[in-house]
């Protein structure tokens, strides 16, 4: 039963992310230990969120490894990748049960307010039950 509730919550969370964040075109909840997307919403034929989610697990792992090698003790809040026409925002989940997971958000750079998107994503993370 817990699995079904988690999936329903994931779908609701992703819908909320796309609806409440101006310029959002895709969202995913990703397990960076396995590279699997636990849920996706949005994207397009030319932009496969599952492939992007798996690829971004490498980004997260590389940053965590680098921080370990440098002896940095802080936590990653988010990682921003800026393209000419998109923002890709990766927010590591820190709440209960969120260890090893991140929210991935794709934004249209022309329509998005990056500061508001980060604020909304933080709020969505706080409400997410995994």
Q: pLDDT tens for residues 38-70? A: 988 888 888 999 999 999 999 999 999 999 999
pTM of this structure:
0.87
> Per DSSP, what are the bridge partners of residue 47?
44
Determine contact, residues 43/69, Cβ cutoff 8 Å.
Answer: no
pLDDT of residue 8: 58
> Per DSSP, what are the bridge partners of residue 69?
none
pLDDT of residue 117: 95
d(CA 34, CA 15) in angstroms, rounded, equals 23
pLDDT digits (tens, 9 = 90+) for 85-122: 999 999 999 866 568 899 999 999 999 999 999 999 98
Mean per-residue pLDDT, 26-38: 92
Determine contact, residues 91/78, Cβ cutoff 8 Å.
Answer: yes
Token pair, residue 38, equals: 């636990």
105: closest CA among 66, 63, 53, 59? 53
């Amino acid at each position: 039963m817990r699995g079904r509730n988690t999936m329903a919550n994931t779908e609701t969370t992703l819908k909320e992310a796309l609806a409440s964040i101006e310029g959002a075109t895709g969202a995913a909840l990703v397990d960076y230990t396995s590279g699997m997307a636990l849920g996706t919403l949005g994207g397009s034929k030319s932009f496969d969120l599952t492939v992007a989610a798996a690829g971004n697990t490498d980004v997260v792992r590389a940053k965590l490894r680098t921080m370990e090698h440098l002896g940095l003790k802080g936590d990653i809040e988010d990682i921003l990748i800026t393209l000419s026409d998109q923002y890709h925002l990766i927010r590591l989940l820190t709440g209960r049960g969120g260890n090893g997971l991140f929210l991935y958000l794709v934004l249209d750079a022309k329509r998005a307010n990056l500061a508001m998107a980060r604020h909304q994503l933080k709020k969505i993370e706080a409400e997410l039950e995994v």
